Amino acid sequence: MANRSPAQLYALVFGAILTAAGILGFFVTQSFTVGDNVMRETLVLFDVNGWHNIVHLATGVIGLAAAASYSASRAYALGLGIVYVIVVILGFIVGDGGAILSVIPINTEDNILHILIAAAGLGAYAATPASPRPSTTATA
């Protein structure tokens, strides 16, 4: 872990968390209803449904895959950071108890978590130089 960049740590940690949230979410609800009838259940403090679980699984698995690569993890940190900034804006527009695009249920707790994910992603991206530092380890 000591040789990982900040972006690789971000991809690994948030990839694992989002993957776990997606899996656990299906134990709470498997509903894929949309529109005015968006079903929502609570996982810990956060509103989830089948679509929300799929989003968590997809972004989590991508993060876990990206964690192995310096450049892929940096792109993941930037991409997820930007996506979550957009999700936060949409979440505050639809408000507590609303649904983003009439598909993904959202509450205030989700919005706060999304702010933290976005800030951590953009921070990890900024803290990871475009090129890795040269290795000082001797090779055999």
pLDDT digits (tens, 9 = 90+) for 1-34: 568 999 999 999 999 999 999 999 889 888 887 8
Strand ranges for the chain from DSSP E: 41-43, 46-48, 99-100, 104-105
- Domain assignment of residue 14, yes or no: yes
**How far, in Å, CA of 99 to CA of 43, rounded?**
16
**pLDDT value of position 34:** 80
pLDDT single digits (tens) 50-87:
888 999 999 999 999 999 999 999 999 999 999 999 99
Is the pLDDT at 124 greater than 90? The verdict is yes
Cα torsion 81, 82, 83, 88: sign: positive
- Domain assignment of residue 87, yes or no: yes
Is the pLDDT at 105 greater than 80? The verdict is yes
- Domain assignment of residue 45, yes or no: yes
- Domain assignment of residue 140, yes or no: no
Beta bridge partners of 48: 41
- Domain assignment of residue 116, yes or no: yes
- Domain assignment of residue 38, yes or no: yes
Q: Which two tokens stand for residue 62?
A: 């991508």
pTM of this prediction? 0.87
- pLDDT range class, residue 136, cuts 50, 70, 90: low
- Domain assignment of residue 139, yes or no: no
- Domain assignment of residue 53, yes or no: yes
Q: Please give the residue range of the domain that contains residue 81.
A: 6-127
**How far, in Å, CA of 118 to CA of 88, rounded?**
9
Q: How many domains does the chain have?
A: 1
Is the pLDDT at 126 greater than 70? The verdict is yes
**pLDDT value of position 8:** 96
How wide is the angle at C-alpha 99 spanned by C-alphas 36 and 89, nearest 5°?
A: 145
